[in-house]
Amino acid sequence: HKHKVLVTGGAGYIGSHVIRQLGEAGYDVVIYDNFSTGSPQAITQGKLVVGDLGNLERLYQVFAQHQFSTVLHFAASLIVPESVKYPLDYYTNNTRNTLNLLRCCQNMGVNQLVFSSTAAVYGEPKENPITESALTLPINPYGRSKLMSEWLIRDCGVSSSLRYVILRYFNVAGADSSGKLGQFSKNATHLIKLACDAVLDRRSNLQIFGNDFPTADGTGVRDYIHVEDLATAHLDALRYLEQGGESQVLNCGYGQGYSVRQVIEKVKTISGKDFPVIETQRRPGDPACAIANADKIHDVLGWKPKFNNLDKIIHSTLAWEVQKENFTSDLNTNIPIPHKLSLTS
Ligand code: UDP
């Protein structure tokens, strides 16, 4: 029998990669997305409902129409500097909307949840690599909006039969090996994507935000994880919940950090192309270093990453960014785009 799952934010970068793997594994998928940042082209399968998580009535309709075993909740705003500028949009879109979804799950009898959280909940960690039991003291509204969402979920786990896997993503990059999926969003601000844009002359230079961090070369250090491995972690989490596993909070990373400078050098080497790099001031809300201790996800879910290699991540991002041009011609224009949230206007 096919399990039916609800995927919020299924038209987004990570959600779309998870959906492709869910389809392969025989799951029946319903996507709930408002297309504020997601793309119709990212949807390879499943039934699409265009809707906003702020619209409880519509959400209840979807739950009433389908019998979901599990909800995978990706829908969120996720750009750190944007969250500093528009905090209320982040608390609305992330925290309030998670509350709506939990309310719906509770009233409609869905008691399994996989939630997209972030290393940003740790803020500026005291120690790297970071374990899940580290203090959570986020240093930007994005991290706080996600930590508050975690609290809502954990409290419901105590008060009700809800079981959940909260996945704390480190820095997600790369693209699906099929060549059909990757980061569609034009507003993506992430380092590897922007470096690839510089390689492809889509931008004239790349900025390094801060060269005075307390790190080996002064630039920010991050644990970059391939989106396909991250997607696999979601399928592992789903199976774990289906087998009756108890609630978990798990880091998703490789346990290896690279500085901004190291990433840029690798992009240049792999592409064989040089581009101008400008060193500028720190971005608001950025920690110096975030590297995962990923022992727990290996132990609990038996997660086996296949692409834990920065070269592979950069290769697949570059390949995707080249290939993506082919997609812009056949945009599906039949899907209505709802009003954009204020933060994207
Ligand atoms: N970064 C940078 N230049 C850019 C984009 C990012 O120097 O154009 C740095 C950023 O300050 C951080 C790292 O690259 O140290 C990763 O940032 P990204 O936006 O990719 O992810 P985040 O860690 O903010 O989620």
Domain of residue 95, residue span: 4-339
- Beta carbons of 78 and 72 less than 8 angstroms apart: no
Residue 335 has pLDDT above 60, yes or no: no
| Residue % of the chain over a pLDDT of 70 | 94
- Beta carbons of 70 and 5 less than 8 angstroms apart: yes
Give per-residue pLDDT as tens, 300-331: 999 999 999 999 999 999 999 998 877 654 44
* Number of domains forming the structure of the chain: 1
Q: Is the pTM of this model over 0.90?
A: yes
Give per-residue pLDDT as tens, 55-80: 999 999 999 999 999 999 999 999 99
pLDDT at 324: 85
- Beta carbons of 9 and 42 less than 8 angstroms apart: no
User: Is residue 345 a part of any domain in this protein?
Assistant: no
Residue 339 has pLDDT above 80, yes or no: no
Q: Which of 43, 47, 12, 41 is nearest to 29 (CA)?
A: 47
CA 27 – CA 16 distance, rounded (Å): 14
Q: Which atom of ligand 1 is nearest to the CA of 282?
A: 11
Tell me the best of 260, 262, 282, 291 to mutate to test the pocket of ligand 1, counting ligand atoms within 8 Å of each CB and taking the most: 260
User: Is residue 344 a part of any domain in this protein?
Assistant: no
State the average pLDDT over residues 273-287. 96
Closest-CA residue, ligand 1 atom 12, reads: 220
Query: Residue 280: CB within 6 Å of ligand 1?
Result: no
Q: Which atom of ligand 1 is nearest to the CA of 80?
A: 24
Closest-CA residue, ligand 1 atom 1, reads: 191
Across the chain, mean pLDDT equals 93
- The CA 51 to ligand 1 mean position distance, Å, reads 30
| Residue % of the chain over a pLDDT of 90 | 90
Residue 245 has pLDDT above 60, yes or no: yes
State the average pLDDT over residues 212-224. 98
Q: Which atom of ligand 1 is nearest to the CA of 283?
A: 11
- The CA 237 to ligand 1 mean position distance, Å, reads 28
User: Is residue 90 a part of any domain in this protein?
Assistant: yes
pLDDT at 332: 45
Query: Residue 80: CB within 6 Å of ligand 1?
Result: yes
Residue 343 has pLDDT above 90, yes or no: no
State the average pLDDT over residues 155-182. 96
- The CA 207 to ligand 1 mean position distance, Å, reads 9
- pLDDT class of 185 with cuts at 50, 70, 90: confident
Instruction: Map tokens 């580290």 to a residue.
Output: 134
User: Is residue 46 a part of any domain in this protein?
Assistant: yes
Residue 337 has pLDDT above 50, yes or no: no
Query: Residue 220: CB within 6 Å of ligand 1?
Result: yes
Query: Residue 208: CB within 6 Å of ligand 1?
Result: yes
User: Is residue 232 a part of any domain in this protein?
Assistant: yes
Residue 2 has pLDDT above 80, yes or no: no
Query: Residue 260: CB within 6 Å of ligand 1?
Result: yes
CA 254 – CA 230 distance, rounded (Å): 10
Residue 340 has pLDDT above 90, yes or no: no
- pLDDT class of 188 with cuts at 50, 70, 90: confident
- pLDDT class of 186 with cuts at 50, 70, 90: confident
User: Is residue 152 a part of any domain in this protein?
Assistant: yes
Instruction: Map tokens 């991540």 to a residue.
Output: 313
Residue 334 has pLDDT above 60, yes or no: no
pLDDT at 51: 97
Give per-residue pLDDT as tens, 106-125: 999 999 999 999 999 999 99
Query: Residue 209: CB within 6 Å of ligand 1?
Result: yes
Long-range contacts of 269-275 (CB under 8 A, 24+ apart): 270/311, 270/314, 270/315, 270/318, 271/196, 271/199, 271/318, 273/199, 275/198, 275/199, 275/205, 275/206
Q: Which atom of ligand 1 is nearest to the CA of 120?
A: 25
215's CB contacts (< 8 A; 6+ apart) are: 221, 259, 288, 289
Query: Residue 251: CB within 6 Å of ligand 1?
Result: no
CA 327 – CA 179 distance, rounded (Å): 11
Query: Residue 206: CB within 6 Å of ligand 1?
Result: yes
pLDDT at 336: 41
- Can you tell me the ipTM of this complex? 0.99
CA geometry: angle 1, 105, 76, nearest 5 deg? 100
State the average pLDDT over residues 140-163. 98
Q: Which of 1, 7, 48, 46 is nearest to 28 (CA)?
A: 46
Closest-CA residue, ligand 1 atom 18, reads: 190
pLDDT at 326: 72
CATH at 45: 3.40.50.720
CA 64 – CA 190 distance, rounded (Å): 37
Residue 147 has pLDDT above 80, yes or no: yes
